[in-house]
Structure 1
Amino acid sequence: MSPQETPRSRPYRPSRPPSAFARRLVRGTGTDGVVDELRGVILSGEATPGMPIPLDEIAQVLGISPIPVREALKTLVGEGLVDHRPRGGYTVARITMAELAELYVVRGVLEQAALAAALPLATPADHEEARAAHEALGRALEEGDVPGYHRASRRFHLALVAPARMRRLQGMLESAWNVTEPYRPMSQLSDEGRAGLHADHAGMLAAFEAGDAAALLTEATEHHEQLRRAVAALPGDPALFADP
């Protein structure tokens, strides 16, 4: 070690191939962004439920001590994104199939409430953001980009509820969405199935821009029914789902 080099400032030079979780981190994130960085990896869909989260290796990659990593992981445990077992370490959270189905019901109920509040307050800028998100959905569908489709779908749904300016309601919706995100049920659908969901999105966008509350809520309800059917059809992989 050079006189100017401290353990925390040394570049990360792994002695063995990085773990599956660590490969997805942005090196040098630092202490302030560690929660967002770890949450981002989980919500990206690349960190599957049950994947180990190696605390010490993450600290090395990010160039920080293990203490803020541990605190960040505790925060994510509270958000339902990470599991922790004494002497068992941290892993990406797993839930049961029944819990996943229940969370989609919760998402549907919360989104209905947020949409009803958002529609009368939507501005031309809100319409523009919803259109841009919908266009991103279309591009991802055409390119067969399933991760991109998931990202654009989330962006689209949140664009529709953003005008409500109801921070707590929107926070609850995003929290429920976050817990379901690692399971990516839309990735199990055929191209035809995703095209059907995209048609739902087009109907939702048209109703949103027209200010038609009844049509928007009807389209959203039908869309969530399709999502719930997709969740029900997921294989019960014991590596991904917690025991009931």
Structure 2
Amino acid sequence: MSGTRRRSAFTRGLVRSPSEGTPRVEDDLRRAILSGDEPPGTLIPIEAVARFFGVSQIPVREALKVLQGEGLVEHVPHVGYSVSKMSFAEFRELYDVRQALEAAAMRAAVARAAPAHDDAVRSAYQEMDAAVAHGDVRAYHVASRSFHRALITPSGMERMVHMYDSAWNMTEPAQPMARVPETLRGGLHDDHLPMMAAFLARDAEALVAHAATHYARLREAIDTFAGDPDVFR
């Protein structure tokens, strides 16, 4: 895909949130990047984005600097801003980070979980099941994240959960579940049932063990597109 096509594609994919006051440039740019509609490396044309929001280039640049700090955007002198494109080693490392944070938060979550948290886990699992039944990869991607998030939210460890979200966000532009072979996606989904059962049984060690099996399968899955130049440097 040429740089010109990527420039126009980015602005076509933007959606402006309803707002009575100042446009929510930062939030809407983040949402566009996390949606996966614009792949890693997509150029972000500041002038066109400013016109879209009806603002000067200043708030757009400020928003892009914030997103750069979050690892979602990168800046190359004399080229401009683009959706971050990392190496496969960096990408894979984020899964190691997620597993470590998730394991710690899961143990605390199981100890503090209440019936409402059980309902959230069941609901997210049902959404994944529905997405699988309809062959909706994007819906599955969203529901899978909701499921994992529901397993750690009861921990009350806000800083750790924030770091977990940040690590997950940095892999979102690649939309990994859309690139994983369907046969492997099925195995990944199968892992979620024993994870849910362990959470509902308040068995922290079993939950962490099943999660470790899941992450091993995740690494196998992402290895299948390790050489994709559209995703990685």
When the two structures are superposed, what TM-score results if normalisation uses the length of structure 1? 0.88
Gaps of 5+ in 1: 1-17
Tell me, yes or no, if the aligned pair for 2:16 and 2:28 is still in contact at 8 Å. no
After TM superposition, give the deviation of residue 195 of structure 1 in Å.
Answer: 1.7
Please state if 1:45 is matched with 2:32. Answer: no
Please, which of 48, 62, 74 is the counterpart of residue 83 of structure 1? 74
Helix, strand or coil at the partner of 2:81: strand
Equivalenced residues, count: 227
Question: What is the alpha-carbon root mean square deviation over aligned residues?
Answer: 1.8
Tell me, yes or no, if the aligned pair for 1:53 and 1:90 is still in contact at 8 Å. yes
Q: How does 1:4-153 map to 2 (within 5 A)?
A: 19-27=8-16, 31=22, 33-153=24-144
Please, which of 161, 166, 170 is the counterpart of residue 157 of structure 2? 166
1:137-191 CA-to-partner distances (Å, cap 9, x unmatched) read: 1111111111111111111111110001111100111111111111222222233
After TM superposition, give the deviation of residue 199 of structure 1 in Å.
Answer: 1.2
When the two structures are superposed, what TM-score results if normalisation uses the length of structure 2? 0.92
After TM superposition, give the deviation of residue 33 of structure 1 in Å.
Answer: 2.1
Report the structure number with the largest CA radius of gyration.
Answer: 1
Helix, strand or coil at the partner of 2:9: coil
Cross-structure match for 2:4? none
Helix, strand or coil at the partner of 1:20: helix
Tell me, yes or no, if the aligned pair for 2:17 and 2:23 is still in contact at 8 Å. no
Cross-structure match for 1:179? 170
Q: Are the structure 2 counterparts of residues 155 and 111 from structure 1 closer, same or farther at C-alpha, using a change threshold of 3 Å?
A: same
1:96-140 CA-to-partner distances (Å, cap 9, x unmatched) read: 011111111111111101111111111111111111111111111
Gaps of 5+ in 2: 1-6
Q: What is the rounded CA distance, in whole Å, between the counterparts of 1:88 and 1:140 in structure 2? A: 39
Q: What is the rounded CA distance, in whole Å, between the counterparts of 1:106 and 1:28 in structure 2? A: 32
Name which of structure 1's ranges 57-66 and 166-175 shifts more when overlaid on structure 2: 57-66
Tell me, yes or no, if the aligned pair for 1:26 and 1:62 is still in contact at 8 Å. no
Cross-structure match for 1:14? none
Larger proportion of helix = 2
Q: What is the rounded CA distance, in whole Å, between the counterparts of 2:39 and 2:115 in structure 1? A: 38
